[in-house]
Amino acid sequence: MKVAVVGATGLVGSVMLKVLEEKNFPVSELIPVASEKSVGNKIQFNQQDYVIHSMQQAIDKKPHIALFSAGGSVSLEWAPKFAAVGCFVIDNSSAWRMDETKKLIVPEVNAHVLTTNDKIIANPNCSTIQMVLVLQPLHLKYKIKRVVVSTYQSVTGTGVKAVQQMENERNGIVGEMAYKYQIDKNAIPQIDVFLENGYTKEEMKMVKETKKIMGDDSINVTATCVRIPTTGGHSESVNIEFENDFDLQEVHDILTNTAGVILQNDIANFEYPMPLFADGKDDVFVGRIRRDESQPNSLNLWIVADNLRKGAATNTVQIAEYLLGKGLIG
Q: Counting Cβ atoms within 10 Å, is residue 198 exposed (0-12), middle (13-18) or buried (19+)?
A: exposed
Which amino acid belongs to residue 203?
A: E
CA distance 15 to 33: 14
Q: Write the DSSP symbol of residue 282.
A: -
What sections of 63-193 are H helices per DSSP?
A: 72-83, 107-110, 126-142, 160-170
Q: Give the β-pairing of 29-33 and 2-6.
A: parallel
Q: Which of 53, 64, 139, 234 is catalytic?
A: 234
Contact criterion met (CB below 8 Å) for 302 and 286: yes
Active site residue 126: yes
Gap between the Cα atoms of 165 and 173, Å rounded: 9
The strand pair at 234-242 and 220-227 is best described as unpaired
Buried b (16+ CB within 10 A) or exposed e, 304-318: bbbbbbbbbbbbbbb
234 is catalytic: yes
- Report how far residue 135's alpha carbon sits from residue 114's, in angstroms, rounded to the nearest whole number: 21
Q: How many CB atoms lie within 10 A of CB 297?
A: 17
Residue 249, amino acid: Q
Strands (E) across the chain are located at: 2-6, 29-33, 42-45, 48-51, 65-68, 88-91, 103-104, 120-122, 144-153, 220-227, 234-242, 261-263, 284-291, 298-305
CA–CA gap between residue 327 and residue 321 (Å, rounded): 10
Residue in 53, 87, 126, 139 annotated catalytic: 126
List 221's β-bridge partners, or say none: 147
Which residues form the catalytic set?
Answer: 126, 234
